[in-house]
Structure 1
Amino acid sequence: MAVNPDLVGREFAPTAPYLVGREKVREFARAVFADAPEHTDLEAARALGYADLVAPPTFAIVVQELTLRQLMSEPDSGIVLERTVHGEQRFRWTRPIVAGDELTARLSVASVRALGANAMVTSETAITDADGAHVVTATSVLVIGGAE
């Protein structure tokens, strides 16, 4: 099955709220070698004016991944995990993610582009806080290989 071009414009239900934990921020910072003290030291983060630890910028992928699961499990998508690679990632920030944030994400499909036997699916995930304020928009491009 080819990737369904009718995915373009499709919006998915918002995810359940994700509570950003202090230890998750520290673990992620270690995993991506983000060694700035505001990622691991509460006092350093507070000295910079934050209420809690500041997540490294790419932490947003943790929340976005919840929406990508929705897209990839859509029965009519034509997206096959075994033939999918992550081609590109971008973030557009309003503010940093901070431990204690309760974030909700909502994915929409921006484009589906044929590339020979393959397809490129671009999605945008808007991530908001508990007050509904925008935090970050994460844009992903998935490259899906054609049938063998």
Structure 2
Amino acid sequence: MVNLAYAGRTYPPTAPYAVGREHVRDFARAVGATHPAHHDVAAARALGHPDVIASPTFAVVVAQRAEAQLIEDPDAGIDFSRVVHAEERFTHHRPIHAGDELVTVLHVDGIVERAGLSMVTTRCEIAAADGEPVATVVSTLAVRGPEQPVRGPEQPTGAPA
């Protein structure tokens, strides 16, 4: 099960993530974002941006790199094979664009257990290398507990499986 003591934990800032122009373009193609500012530098600059801008959900790429600190922490007790994303919310302070160097601080805002399911809520504060806030990503992961034996209709509760 998930270690409840991790609620309230804050991880150190990640190493900077360099947002590449092709990363932005590839992600935009993958999610079907067709606005020219996601693909064409001239179109983005015409809108006042220094380079192509990422589609809004691109922030998940950066956030998941930070969330890996929790997922890969053996003492956290999270078996990723038992994880389902329950919710994800984005708050953008400014667009992410190619050329950004982004640093993320991961906060474990809460862990709640119910009926063998742990709900883990994390918050990733993404900032430019100079500290300028860029985005906040709040995720809730549902972590299933250990498998329970399945009982058939002919097996009363309490009978050996």
TM range (shorter): over 0.9
Name the TM-score, length of structure 2 as normaliser: 0.89
Identify the residue that residue 85 of structure 1 maps to in structure 2.
Answer: 84
Count matched residues. 147
Identify the residue that residue 75 of structure 2 maps to in structure 1.
Answer: 76
> Given residue 110 of structure 2, which amino acid in structure 1 is its aligned partner?
S
Identify the residue that residue 32 of structure 1 maps to in structure 2.
Answer: 31
> Given residue 101 of structure 1, which amino acid in structure 2 is its aligned partner?
D
Give the root-mean-square deviation of aligned CA atoms: 0.7
Q: CA deviation at 1:27?
A: 0.3
Aligned equivalents of 1:41 and 1:67: distance in 2? Answer: 28
Which of the pair has the greater relative contact order for Cα pairs under 8 Å at 6+ separation? Answer: 1
Deviations 1:19-56 (A, max 9, x none): 10011100000000000000001111001000000000
Runs of 4+, deviation exceeding 6 Å:
none
2:55 equivalent to 1:45: no
Structure 2 segments unaligned to the other structure (5+ residues) = 148-161
Identify the residue that residue 60 of structure 1 maps to in structure 2.
Answer: 59
Aligned equivalents of 1:43 and 1:82: distance in 2? Answer: 43
Q: CA deviation at 1:86?
A: 0.9
Identify the residue that residue 130 of structure 2 maps to in structure 1.
Answer: 131
> Partner of 2:49: helix, strand, or coil?
coil
> Given residue 16 of structure 1, which amino acid in structure 2 is its aligned partner?
A
Bigger Rg, which one: 2
Aligned equivalents of 1:28 and 1:130: distance in 2? Answer: 22
Identify the residue that residue 145 of structure 2 maps to in structure 1.
Answer: 146
> Given residue 10 of structure 1, which amino acid in structure 2 is its aligned partner?
R
Aligned equivalents of 1:128 and 1:81: distance in 2? Answer: 26
State the percentage of identical aligned residues. 50
